[in-house]
Homo-oligomer: A and B are copies of this chain.
Amino acid sequence: MPIIRVEMFKGRSVDQKRALVKELTDAFVSAAGGTPESVHVVITDVDKEDWGSGGQLCSDKFPD
């Protein structure tokens, strides 16, 4: 019943998300046990203007 949440910068493709769900699920089962069927993964895409680091917006710090 584990739940894994990922917050990351917006911009990954569906293929990357598909791989991410697969690999995080496998990683969880390998390290902590349980079955893949029970693992949930919820991905949140975050805009750079909604993420701050070191007191600065990431949209200012890491412009595209």
A-side residues, CB < 8 A to B, are: 1-9, 12, 14, 16-28, 30-33, 36-46, 49-60
Contact = CB atoms under 8 A, between A and B. Distances in A.
A28 B24 contact: yes
A63 B51 CA distance: 28
A42 B32 contact: no
A55 B7 contact: no
Q: How many copies does the complex hold?
A: 6
Contact of A3 (B27, B33, B42, B50): B42
B25 A55 contact: yes
B55 A51 contact: no
B49 A17 contact: yes
Given A3-B6, A4-B4, A26-B27, A40 B51 contact: yes
